[in-house]
């Protein structure tokens, strides 16, 4: 006999679906009426078209020629044109992403764009539904609140059509498949695709399953095997058309001062709602030198991740502890290198962990709820836009220690909130695994004493 939904579950499901509808309608309207609508997807769509025409997708001039020859136009105003040139013509997507998008590139632009938006909506809704299904038995009200907050405020994913909409959703789906031991082959394929589209979003999740050992390590290696099998033809294709693609891609990712992807205060996106949320953006305020802010970010996150990795290896695997660890990983994944708000939808993985701590009560209940909510809001689109308006009204610059601290903690809070969240869940993971180890030792000693 099939289990029926309770009244609370039906109401929660309705809220979730309504929030998803808001995301789709609002995001689609913005994409249609905004000059920047679809820019991220245009970069990969026309990059793949360039490859099909045996033209170098990592050469901005070649990309512009492909874009304009197919009827594409940039905004006529100087600022919009400059942003368009850096967002569309400067391809920072991996060859594997171009290869996976190739079937869509065979379609006309409007058909491909509609299908891409539909894919983002479907995959993100599915990821949200399964995270709700995991968390609802622990803390139904808290879990639905967190997920609806994220769904209602994800319009930039639609406006730009960024790969994160698919990569993050597939990563979340893969985690559910592995931990719930359901549809495992689909989970392996989803994790492989996520790694191929945006490896910096899914890499730490993949590494966690490797370190967890047992069947999870086998599944992680199977996902990597699928990814390698798909990556080989992609690399051969791109290398044939553009032998120097690696040097060109590296030059684009290096993000010279003042470019769109520069994490520093001179970036074109520094005064936008879609600012860089990695720790590089924080350290760059105090010394705008890549050699400094990259090293500082790597050392800070590396020390915490190494400590966490060692504890994962030493501790016994449990599903509840896995969700706690994945909540920390979701936060830390955003911090060492370039990420933006759309990548932070990976925080869906933190909802089950927050629900577990909330249901257990005690002193960790409210800190878990407050920190997780703060992280979701700090990386949401509307709060970021509101803080941008505040920054402009206050005329805050990146000069002066007071202004820098104001930017870090109030106007661009995402990196520090994510760091706080990562440290909190890492501490909880350490605490729980230490307690479990002590209890295991006590159980072994007790029979001997009797």
User: What is the per-residue pLDDT across 225-266, written as a single tens digit (0 to 9) for each?
Assistant: 999 999 999 999 999 999 999 999 888 887 677 777 888 888
Is the predicted pLDDT of residue 317 greater than 60, yes or no? yes
The whole-angstrom distance between residue 247's C-alpha and the CA centroid of its chain comes to 25
Is the predicted pLDDT of residue 157 greater than 60, yes or no? yes
Is the predicted pLDDT of residue 2 greater than 50, yes or no? yes
Sort 252 into a burial class: Cβ within 10 Å, 0-12 / 13-18 / 19+. Answer: middle
d(CA 189, CA 90): 29
* Residue 387 contacts residue 409 (beta carbons within 8 Å): no
How sure is the predictor about 373, in pLDDT bands with cuts at 50, 70 and 90?
very high
Q: Which of 121-135, 300-314, 383-397 has the lowest mean pLDDT?
A: 383-397
| CB neighbour list of residue 24: distance below 8 Å, 6 or more residues apart | 117, 121, 158
Is the predicted pLDDT of residue 312 greater than 80, yes or no? yes
d(CA 71, CA 162): 21
Q: Tokens representing 363?
A: 């002193």
Q: What is the pLDDT of residue 449?
A: 54
Q: What is the pLDDT of residue 448?
A: 53
Q: What is the pLDDT of residue 1?
A: 45
| CB neighbour list of residue 149: distance below 8 Å, 6 or more residues apart | 373, 376, 377, 380
**282-306 burial code (b ≥16 CB/10 A, e <16):** bbbbeebebeebbebbbebbeebbe
pLDDT digits (tens, 9 = 90+) for 162-176: 899 999 999 999 999
As a whole number, the mean pLDDT across the chain is 89
Q: Tokens representing 414?
A: 């995402």
Q: What is the pLDDT of residue 153?
A: 80
Q: What is the pLDDT of residue 277?
A: 92
d(CA 386, CA 393): 11
Sort 124 into a burial class: Cβ within 10 Å, 0-12 / 13-18 / 19+. Answer: buried
pLDDT digits (tens, 9 = 90+) for 430-445: 999 998 888 777 777 7
């Amino acid at each position: 006999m099939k289990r029926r939904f309770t009244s609370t579950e039906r109401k929660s499901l309705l809220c979730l679906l309504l929030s998803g509808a808001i995301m789709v309608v609002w995001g689609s309207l913005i994409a249609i009426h905004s000059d920047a609508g679809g820019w991220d997807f245009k970069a990969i769509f026309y990059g793949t078209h360039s490859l099909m025409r045996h033209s170098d997708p990592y050469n901005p001039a070649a990309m512009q020629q492909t874009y304009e020859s197919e009827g594409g136009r940039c905004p006529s105003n100087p600022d919009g044109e400059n942003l368009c040139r850096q967002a569309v013509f400067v391809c920072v997507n991996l060859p594997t992403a171009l290869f996976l998008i190739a079937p869509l590139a065979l379609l006309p632009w409007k058909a491909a764009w509609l299908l891409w938006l539909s894919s983002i909506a479907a995959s993100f809704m599915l990821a949200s539904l399964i995270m709700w299904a995991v968390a609802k038995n622990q803390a139904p009200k808290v879990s639905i609140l967190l997920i609806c907050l994220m769904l209602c405020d994800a319009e930039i994913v639609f406006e730009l059509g960024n790969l994160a909409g698919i990569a993050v959703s597939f990563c979340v789906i893969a985690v559910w498949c592995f931990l719930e031991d359901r549809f495992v082959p689909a989970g392996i394929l989803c994790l492989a695709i996520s790694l191929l589209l945006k490896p910096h979003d899914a890499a730490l999740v993949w590494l966690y399953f490797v370190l967890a050992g047992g069947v999870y390590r086998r599944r992680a290696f199977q996902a990597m095997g699928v990814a390698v099998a798909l990556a080989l033809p992609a690399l051969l294709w791109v290398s044939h058309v553009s032998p120097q693609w690696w040097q060109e891609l590296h030059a684009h990712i290096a993000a010279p001062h003042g470019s769109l992807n520069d994490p520093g205060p001179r970036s074109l996106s520094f005064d936008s709602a879609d600012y860089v949320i990695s720790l590089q953006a924080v350290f760059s305020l105090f010394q705008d030198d890549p050699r400094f802010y990259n090293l500082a970010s790597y050392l800070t996150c590396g020390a915490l991740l190494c400590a966490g990795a060692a504890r994962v290896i030493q501790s016994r695997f449990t599903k509840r502890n896995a969700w706690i660890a994945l909540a920390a990983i979701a936060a830390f994944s955003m911090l060492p290198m370039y990420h933006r708000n759309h990548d932070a939808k990976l925080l869906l993985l933190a909802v089950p962990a927050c629900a577990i701590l909330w249901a257990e009560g005690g002193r960790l209940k409210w800190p878990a709820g407050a920190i997780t909510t703060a992280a979701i809001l700090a990386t949401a689109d509307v709060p970021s836009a509101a803080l941008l308006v505040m920054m402009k009204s206050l005329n805050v610059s990146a000069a002066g220690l007071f202004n820098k601290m104001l930017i870090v903690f109030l106007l661009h809070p995402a990196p520090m909130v994510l760091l706080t969240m990562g440290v909190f869940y890492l501490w909880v993971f350490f605490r729980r695994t230490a307690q479990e180890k002590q209890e295991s030792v006590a159980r072994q000693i007790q029979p001997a004493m009797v």
